[in-house]
Amino acid sequence: MQRFCRFLSALITKFTLLAAAVLSLAACATAPVQEMSDARQAIRSAEAVGAARRSPDRLSAAQRLLREAQAYLETGAYDQARRYALDARAEAIKARENATQPAPVQSPTP
């Protein structure tokens, strides 16, 4: 009987550890809500300073990356969605920076 109790105790311990590991992994695979929000805000900020006119390629790239992130999010591919959202944010920041750079000064032609 004592052997059975030790066996049962060890089995319960192993099951508890396995359950904790599974729960930990599940917690890592959460939707990238903050990353998506950050990307949207960065795109809105770039649009607000005129990136559509002064940095259209970068702004378009950011918007495309955000659409890709949204598509991955909807299928539950959270890791890919997170990566695309982070890339969209970075591209939008570059678009905003390009849009806020002073225009090059044209020297008069003699």
As given in the structure block, the two tokens for residue 19 are 């359950």
Q: Give domain status of residue 8, yes or no.
A: no
Is residue 92, in this structure, part of any structural domain at all?
A: yes
The residue segments making up the domain with residue 53 are: 30-100
pTM of the model: 0.70
Residue 70 lies in a domain: yes
Higher pLDDT, 79 or 9: 79
- The alpha-helical segments, DSSP class H, found in the chain are 2-28, 33-48, 51-54, 56-75, 78-100
Q: Is residue 23 part of a domain?
A: no
Q: Is residue 24 part of a domain?
A: no
pLDDT, tens only, 56-77: 999 999 999 999 999 999 999 9
Residues 6-23 have a mean pLDDT of 69
According to the model, what pLDDT value does residue 37 have? 98
The owner of tokens 């890919």 is: 80
107 falls within a domain: no
| The total number of structural domains that make up the chain | 1
Q: What pLDDT does 26 receive?
A: 56
Q: Which of 86 and 107 is assigned the larger pLDDT? A: 86
Question: Which structure tokens are listed for 66?
Answer: 């955000």
